[in-house]
Amino acid sequence: MRRGRVMKSTGSWYLVEAADGDGETFRCRIRGRLRLKGIRTTNPVAVGDWVVFDTEETEEGAVGTITAVEPRKNYVIRRATNLSREAHIIAANVDQAFLVVTLDFPPTSPEFIDRFLVTCEMYRVPVTILLNKIDLFGDPAFAGAVADFHAVYEGAGYRVLEVSALYGQGMDRLEEMMKGRVSLFSGHSGVGKSTLIGTLIPEFEIRTGDISDYHRKGKHTTTFSEMFPLPGGGYLIDTPGIKGFGIVDADAKELARYFPDLFREAAECRFYNCTHTHEPYCAVKAAVEAGRIAPERYVSYLKMMEDDDKYRK
C-alpha cells in the first residue's frame, strides 16, 4: 500500500502523485466498494485528496487502485447539475482559494461571488478575490466602479487584489501569497483565469483562445480539476469555469453566520433568532440603512434565504 495525493480527476481515472517518490505519478481507479459507502457527491474522490492506493504491473505499465480516502481538513463543494446526486466536491485539503472576477468583459455577478464566499466560509477556506483585467479599467469613467468593488468586499472582510496577466500587475504579490501553499483557483468562464495560470506556470501550456477574447468572453478549455506544482513551491488547483454556484448544507437559520459583515452586526439584534428579513429592531437591516453593510451583499443574502430548493434542505 502507498500514500499519495490526487492531482487530477477525469471522473473515472485519477492521477495520483506518490508521497514517497520524487513526483512519481500513477493512473488509478477507485475500488468498487469505495463508491458505495453512502457517498452523496458525484465524486467520492476529489483533487487534493490524500489517498491510499496499491499498484499492479500491466502491459501499459503500473496502474493503481485507490482503496481509501484520508479524512479531509476542508473542501470546496457546490451543488451538482446532476440531480441524482447532491453535490460535487471541487477540491479538497486547500490552504486558500482565489476567486477570479471581472467587472466587465464579462461581468461577474455579486450573487455568484457571494455564494462562493459563503461556501468557503462554511468550510473554513480563506479567500482572496482577484479583480482581473484591471488594465481594461484605466479610464477614469471606471474608477468609481473599481473603488465601489473594493469598498463592498474589503468592507465585508475580504482581501481584494487587482491583477492583470497581460501587464503583470499584481502578479509578484500573488506569487508570494501562493508560495508553499495549496491554492484553489476558481471563477466564471471568460474571466481570464487560464491566462493568469499560464503566467504563474510559464512552462505549462494552457489554451486560452484568441487574444481578442481577453476583452470579451474568452474561452476556457479546462474540463476537469487539476493540481499543478508551482515554480516557487506549493500547488495550484485549476477548476473548470463555473456558470453557477449552488450552496450545499446551508441552513437558512445559520446563513448569516457565513456573511462576516452581517454576522458582526447580528449580535445587536433584539431577537436571538432574527433572520434579518422582517423582524423589528434588526441590527443588520439598520446597518444596511446606515451604510455599514453594502446593499448588494444584503440582497444576495435575501436571495439565498428565499431559495428553498437549495438552502432549506
Query: What one-character-per-residue DSSP string does 191-212 give?
Result: SSHHHHHHHHSTTS------GG
The average pLDDT across 43-63 equals: 88
Separation of alpha carbons 200 and 187, rounded Å: 16
Select from 201, 194, 195 the least CA-distant residue to 223.
194
Chain centre distance of CA 257: 19
pTM of the model as a whole:
0.88
Measured over the CA atoms of residue 199, residue 128, residue 247 and residue 35, the dihedral's sign is: positive
CA-closest candidate to residue 43, choices 19, 18, 26, 66: 66
Residues 34/66, Cβ–Cβ less than 8 Å: yes
Is residue 220 very low, low, confident or very high in pLDDT (cuts 50, 70, 90)?
very low
Higher pLDDT, 170 or 223: 170
C-alpha distance from residue 51 to each of 44, 57, 168, 223 (Å): 11, 19, 37, 22
For the record, the C-alpha cell of 83 comes out as: 440531480
Section 166-179 average pLDDT = 94
CA atoms 277, 157, 117, 68: torsion sign:
negative
Is residue 18 within 8 A of residue 3, CB to CB? The reply is yes
Q: 142 falls in which pLDDT band (50, 70, 90)?
A: confident
Q: What is the mean pLDDT of residues 72-100?
A: 82
**pLDDT exceeds cutoff 90 at 226:** yes
Q: What is the pLDDT of residues 194-215, one digit of tens each?
A: 889 999 998 765 444 433 444 5
Q: At 65, is the secondary structure helix, strand, or coil?
A: strand
- Residue 251 Cα distances to 46, 101, 240, 256, 269, angstroms: 24, 27, 27, 10, 19
- CA angle (187, 193, 194) in 5-degree steps: 135
Mean pLDDT rounded to a whole number for the chain? 85
CB 75 within 8 Å of CB 86:
no
Q: What is the pLDDT of residues 231-281, one digit of tens each?
A: 999 999 998 766 566 676 667 788 999 999 999 999 999 999 999 999 999
Which 8-state DSSP code applies to residue 215? G
Asked whether the beta carbons of 140 and 165 are under 8 A apart, the reply is no
